[in-house]
Structure 1
Amino acid sequence: MKDDHNFKKKFGQNFILDFNVIFTTLDLLQLNVHDKVLEIGPGDGRFTDVIIDQVEHLDLVEVDIELADYLAFKYEAYDNLTIHNMDILEYELTEYKDHSYKVFGALPYNISKPIISKFLESDIRPSKMVFITQYEVAEDYAAEAPKATFLSNYAHVFADVELKAKIDKHLFHPQPKVHGGVLEITPRKRPLVDDPERFTKFLKNGFRTPRKKLLNTLSSIYKDINWEDAMKELGLNNKIRAAELTFEDWKKLYTIFS
């Protein structure tokens, strides 16, 4: 660990202490010597140390100038590594337009969702993503009916998502208030719906009041459709709640809406 680092709360900095977590997380990437890899928030380089000799090229995106300078000094002898001192949400993916790449990182908990969406919704999607996020958020992305969430259905449009591990909060420094989770995300070549933005809006409306019956929620928003008849036609119980629908159920309902 960089012994004198001043951890900055605004950047959501929490370093992994357990190298077993590092190795098992990186194993999910299935790296080879021809891979181009993007690491988000490398910190002091503990993940970077493990993979720098395993891949063709490694891009490190680090928003903290202090850490970016430290990494530049630490890896100055390597010619297969580029350090970008910037916010990942502003990082352009165009350099990966003509070849495959993989992404991983221990994401700042406060912006993990926008980061994941950046890659899911991009036309230049990676072949594999492995992220450490807040455990409850990881659960939401990987949830399935009858406990599905807006996030799990949204992500399924673009990728297969699996929750691979839970990381106890005491394995981070500084110790956060919540546990971490490891997400493995395998993007699809193309989304499962023709208009992902419109479908996502429909999903979001469907989950607007998740504890209420979906029939009531949809009827209050899309008043020109007889949702009771529509759900009956699809074989759905009119008492069903949003979390109980499968992704295929949502697609069928969306077909009626669209």
Structure 2
Amino acid sequence: MKEIATPTRTKEIVERYNLKAKKSLGQNFMVDAQLLGKMVDHTGLTERDGVIEVGPGIGALTEQLAKRAKKVIAYEIDQRLLPVLDDTLSSYDNVDIRHEDFLKSDLTQVFKKDFSDVDNVYAAGNLPYYVTTPILMRFLEERLPIETLTVLIQKEVGDRLAAKPSTKAYGSLSIAAQYYAETEVISAVPPQAFMPRPNVDSSIITFRIRKEKAVQVNDEAFFFKCIRASFAQRRKTLRNNLNHWLGDKERVTEALGRSEIDGARRAETLSIQEFGKLADALNS
């Protein structure tokens, strides 16, 4: 049987089940098997490993994951797609579809029970644009025991996640992601790779989870508050943003001096290590 991720097969499935992609759920079905294969290549999956997928849709990526992995657990929130997935993935006995909201699921139990017999666990997904960041940050902030997270997301968001200092895309989201993982944009994905075609370009991006965070800080919550405050008004200097946030010019001046950072710089020029020094100095 033809792979799911082709225009012909996808159209056939959509027509058979009278499916209409829900804009409210950010649904666009991938119809480029070659790009999905490239995506799976970058997960690092082997036949001894497990994988969590978010948003399987009609099973295009799930199929590619199932060919490589020992076990696939896929979270699908749209009840209409459950019979479709039962059909399209019927030949794969290593796939477990969960009709759950991934953001509310008990992942501790999943790792403890469902993945007890695998070597490593990976994560992947063609993520709905409207919940991309919450899904990514759940994987990263909860320090889930995954090796890599490989996702298909809106290009603009991917650029921000992988951005380096002194670039237009670099901001608090870049630092949040890179604090937990090494990020790499694998491939651009044009609108014609989907059905229906979205109005935006997409990217495949991989997060290689760090064994240790990019910088050690005394207070993680304060560190992220400091970053958000520093980027509050991008055109303003670091000193001005911090003064506005804390309302204590003396404290800000002293912290900038101790961390050896010029307060006339803008937040987008600071590395994650410099933000670590600055946050600790401000919070000491």
Instruction: Give the structure 1 partner of residue 224 of structure 2.
Output: 200
CA distance in 2, matches of 1:120, 1:52: 24
Matched, 1:96 2:116: no
CA distance in 1, matches of 2:143, 2:32: 35
TM-score by length of 1: 0.93
From 143, 153, 156, give the equivalent of 2:178: 156
Q: Is the 8 A contact 1:145 1:245 kept in 2?
A: yes
Residues 140-175 of structure 1 deviation map (CA, whole Å, 9 limit, x = unaligned)? 111111122111111122111122222112222111
SS at match of 2:232: coil
Matched, 1:3 2:39: no
Instruction: Give the structure 2 partner of residue 120 of structure 1.
Output: 140
Instruction: Give the structure 2 partner of residue 256 of structure 1.
Output: 281
**Shift, 1:232, TM fit:** 4.0
Instruction: Give the structure 2 partner of residue 236 of structure 1.
Output: 261
CA distance in 2, matches of 1:135, 1:50: 22
Q: Structure 1 residues 197, 229: closer, same or farther in 2, change over 3 A?
A: closer
**Shift, 1:22, TM fit:** 0.9
Count residues with an aligned counterpart.
Answer: 258
**Shift, 1:215, TM fit:** 0.8
Q: Is the 8 A contact 2:223 2:280 kept in 1?
A: no
CA distance in 2, matches of 1:156, 1:146: 15
SS at match of 2:68: coil
Instruction: Give the structure 2 partner of residue 111 of structure 1.
Output: 131
Q: Is the 8 A contact 2:188 2:203 kept in 1?
A: yes
Q: AA paired with 1:36?
A: G
TM-score by length of 2: 0.85
SS at match of 1:129: strand
RMSD over equivalenced CA pairs, Å: 1.8
SS at match of 1:6: coil
Matched, 1:68 2:89: no
**Shift, 1:186, TM fit:** 1.1
**Shift, 1:21, TM fit:** 1.2
1:28-107 to 2 correspondences below 5 Å: 28-94=42-108, 95-97=110-112, 100-107=120-127
CA distance in 1, matches of 2:176, 2:124: 20
Q: AA paired with 2:106?
A: E
CA distance in 1, matches of 2:106, 2:144: 10
Q: Is the 8 A contact 1:159 1:188 kept in 2?
A: yes
SS at match of 1:227: helix
Unaligned runs of 5+ in 2: 1-9
- Give the share of equivalent positions with the same residue, in percent: 28
Q: AA paired with 2:216?
A: V
CA distance in 2, matches of 1:133, 1:35: 24
SS at match of 1:3: helix
**Shift, 1:229, TM fit:** 4.3
SS at match of 2:74: strand
CA distance in 2, matches of 1:46, 1:247: 37
Q: Is the 8 A contact 1:154 1:203 kept in 2?
A: no
SS at match of 1:183: strand
Q: Is the 8 A contact 1:138 1:181 kept in 2?
A: yes
Q: Structure 1 residues 9, 241: closer, same or farther in 2, change over 3 A?
A: same
Q: Is the 8 A contact 2:259 2:281 kept in 1?
A: no
From 198, 201, 213, give the equivalent of 1:176: 198
